């Protein structure tokens, strides 16, 4: 029965990576001001996201490495970068930047060149031509051994392609793909069943189709289903419910 409520990866080129000496220090946030290192958070990552964290963490152990993480909006790029930062905070000095809010470039002159520094830069797809190259050049002028992680959507790869000198320095390119159907199915089973909701057999398939496997959209849609369906525990969630909610979400966003 239709619910009636309304509501408004890639391979790493080059030689084998050798570990470098790491130094624990406070983290620098996106504004460029020093703040205490964040406590480790138990963040649930899916397989592709955990794999991306592992690849990035391995790659930044190479001095002066340049590492790229790309994915469609809502695929978890920022989540992966946050998890990477939390993990590295235990062993090295991490400087986090966000190109969507960055106004001044933080200095790291207080750190000697022998100290390990990792720059993690999010939303690089928002940069204009040449900006990413300028920022990475400034980083290596300050800290020649620093590892740099650039994260963003697909346009980041286009920006890199326009800067051949920077592209040639890329050690690792990792791509977050949308969820596979088994991953979406696992989310639906976990989230809806934990709320005591039952659903018809094609509901997971339709959720996967309308969200195109984008993690953020999957969780948003399921969240609305849980909210609306909570008062109808005796009714199964049907395909028509999913389609109706999806249409209203798109109408509200238009």
Question: Can you give the CATH number for the domain in which 137 is found?
Answer: 3.40.50.300
This prediction has a pTM of: 0.73
Question: Residues 162, 195: one domain?
Answer: no
198, 225 in Cβ contact below 8 A? no
Question: Residues 59, 160: one domain?
Answer: yes
Question: Residues 112, 193: one domain?
Answer: no
Neighbours of 169 (CB within 10 A): 15
Residue 227, φ and ψ in degrees, nearest 5: -65, -50
Name the band, by pLDDT with cuts 50, 70 and 90, for residue 103: low
pLDDT at 12 over 90: no
Is residue 96 included in any domain, yes or no? yes
Question: Residues 135, 244: one domain?
Answer: no
Question: Residues 128, 60: one domain?
Answer: yes
Domain extent at residue 148? 27-175
Question: Residues 72, 126: one domain?
Answer: yes
Compute CA distances 209 → 129, 154, 182, whole Å: 35, 21, 12
Per residue in 152-198, pLDDT (tens digit) is: 999 999 999 999 999 999 999 999 999 999 999 999 999 988 888 88
Is residue 78 included in any domain, yes or no? yes
Question: Residues 205, 114: one domain?
Answer: no
pLDDT confidence of residue 75: 92
pLDDT confidence of residue 160: 93
pLDDT at 254 over 70: no
Is residue 165 included in any domain, yes or no? yes
Is residue 6 included in any domain, yes or no? no
Is residue 201 included in any domain, yes or no? yes
Give 195's contacts (C-beta < 8 A, 6+ positions apart).
Answer: 226, 229, 230
Over residues 33-43, mean pLDDT: 38
Per residue in 194-230, pLDDT (tens digit) is: 888 889 889 999 999 999 999 999 999 999 998 887 6
Is residue 8 included in any domain, yes or no? no
Compute CA distances 238 → 46, 139, 167, 180, 253, whole Å: 26, 53, 48, 21, 23
> Quick one: 139 exposed, middle or buried, by C-beta within 10 A (0-12, 13-18, 19+)?
buried
Question: Residues 138, 221: one domain?
Answer: no
Question: Residues 104, 34: one domain?
Answer: yes
């Amino acid at each position: 029965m239709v619910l009636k409520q309304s509501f408004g990866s890639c391979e790493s080129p080059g030689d084998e990576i050798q570990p470098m000496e790491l130094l624990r220090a406070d983290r620098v946030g996106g504004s460029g001001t020093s703040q205490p290192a964040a406590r480790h958070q138990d963040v649930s990552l899916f397989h592709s996201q955990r794999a991306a964290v592992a690849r990035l963490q391995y790659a930044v152990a190479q001095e002066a490495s340049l590492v790229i993480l790309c994915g469609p909006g809502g695929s978890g790029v920022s989540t992966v970068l946050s998890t990477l930062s939390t993990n590295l905070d235990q062993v090295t000095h991490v400087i986090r930047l966000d190109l969507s809010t960055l106004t001044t470039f933080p200095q790291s002159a207080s750190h000697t060149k022998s100290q390990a520094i990792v720059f993690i830069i999010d939303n690089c797809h928002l940069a204009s031509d040449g900006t990413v190259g300028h920022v990475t050049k400034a980083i290596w002028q300050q800290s020649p051994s620093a590892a740099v992680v650039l994260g963003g959507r697909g346009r980041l790869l286009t920006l890199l392609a326009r800067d051949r000198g920077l592209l040639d320095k890329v050690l690792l390119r990792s791509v977050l793909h949308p969820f596979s159907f088994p991953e979406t199915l696992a989310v639906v089973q976990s989230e809806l069943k934990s709320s005591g909701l039952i659903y018809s057999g094609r509901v997971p398939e339709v959720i996967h189709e309308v969200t195109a496997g984008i993690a953020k959209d999957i969780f948003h849609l399921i969240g609305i289903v849980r909210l609306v369906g909570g008062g109808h525990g005796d009714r199964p969630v049907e395909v028509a419910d999913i389609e109706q909610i999806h249409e209203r979400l798109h109408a509200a966003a238009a």
